[in-house]
């Protein structure tokens, strides 16, 4: 009798684990991977459960989208291709906030679809399941970037236009959604108020060309900046001392 109780207890424990947290043990493999990617890249703003209440949401205007459609039906009306577009190209691609970053240079096509597969579990929709059997890119698209020697004349030269263009690019890209300068900006990434006094400009330049090449698991996505834009942003941030 005692053994039977132990067996029953073990079986009941397994069922509890299966149904706790949205049937985690029964979760589709791609949805599970999408959940992990969402937690790492998206939850800072959208919240762990996608309700738009991440710790950085208080710093953003407009506030992050509630992906659960709890207040209004928005995501449920969007096609899967629409979600892929905004995740790949950023909010600016659909005339929304540029503080929603792009991930086409950071995540593979399959990884983006996995995030979408998870997001679809957060609200009602009739778009059907995502077909992961079709051919997809497995390796993330990366930009190698060009090296630049520290202390080169190009960095030493005072260039007011480059600084102003860098400031404009910083604003246009929506960097303030994650970074703070002074009292304004988000708190996902480092405070950049005095960044110019802390980091080597050559390192910053290469980082902006390809963040993941410099820091493997950094959250900042690769924006695919051209050399000139990366240089201008570097020059602007270098002026913040």
Pair of tokens at residue 16: 């509890």
Report the pLDDT value the prediction gives residue 27, as an integer from 0 to 100.
Answer: 76
Report the pLDDT value the prediction gives residue 135, as an integer from 0 to 100.
Answer: 53
Instruction: Indicate whether this model's pTM tops 0.75.
Output: no
Report the pLDDT value the prediction gives residue 143, as an integer from 0 to 100.
Answer: 29
Q: Tell me which residue of 172, 179, 233, 196 sits closest to 44, measured CA to CA.
A: 179
Q: What is the 3-state secondary structure (H, E, C) of 18-37?
A: HHCCCCHHHCCHHHHHHHHH
Report the pLDDT value the prediction gives residue 198, as an integer from 0 to 100.
Answer: 85
CA dihedral in degrees (227, 228, 233, 237; nearest 10)?
90
HSE toward the beta carbon, residue 220, CA cutoff 13 A: 24
Domains of the chain: 2-122 (1.10.760.10), 153-238 (1.10.760.10)
**pLDDT < 50 positions in the chain:** 2, 6-9, 11, 14-23, 137-150
Report the pLDDT value the prediction gives residue 170, as an integer from 0 to 100.
Answer: 95
> Cα(73)–Cα(124) distance, rounded to whole angstroms?
9
């Amino acid at each position: 009798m005692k053994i039977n109780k132990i067996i029953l207890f073990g079986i009941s424990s397994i069922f509890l684990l299966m149904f706790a947290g949205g049937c985690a043990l029964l979760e589709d493999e791609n949805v599970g991977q999408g959940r992990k990617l969402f937690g790492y890249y998206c939850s800072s703003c959208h919240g762990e459960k996608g309700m738009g209440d991440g710790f950085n949401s208080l710093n953003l205007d407009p506030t992050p989208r509630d992906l659960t459609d709890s207040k209004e039906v928005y995501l449920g009306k969007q096609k899967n291709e629409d979600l892929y577009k905004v995740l790949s190209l950023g909010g600016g691609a659909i005339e929304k906030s540029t503080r929603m970053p792009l991930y086409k240079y950071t995540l593979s096509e399959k990884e983006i679809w996995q995030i979408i597969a998870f997001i679809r579990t957060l609200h009602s929709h009739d778009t059907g399941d995502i077909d992961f059997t079709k051919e997809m890119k497995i390796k993330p698209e990366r930009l190698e970037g060009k090296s630049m020697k520290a202390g080169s004349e190009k960095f030493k030269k005072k260039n007011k236009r480059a600084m102003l263009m860098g400031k404009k690019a910083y604003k246009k890209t929506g960097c303030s959604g994650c970074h703070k300068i002074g009292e304004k900006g988000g708190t996902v990434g480092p405070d950049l108020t005095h960044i110019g006094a802390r980091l080597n400009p050559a390192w910053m330049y290469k980082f902006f060309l390809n963040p993941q090449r410099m820091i493997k698991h950094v959250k900042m996505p690769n924006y695919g900046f051209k050399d000139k834009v990366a240089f201008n942003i570097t020059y602007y941030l270098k002026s913040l001392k």
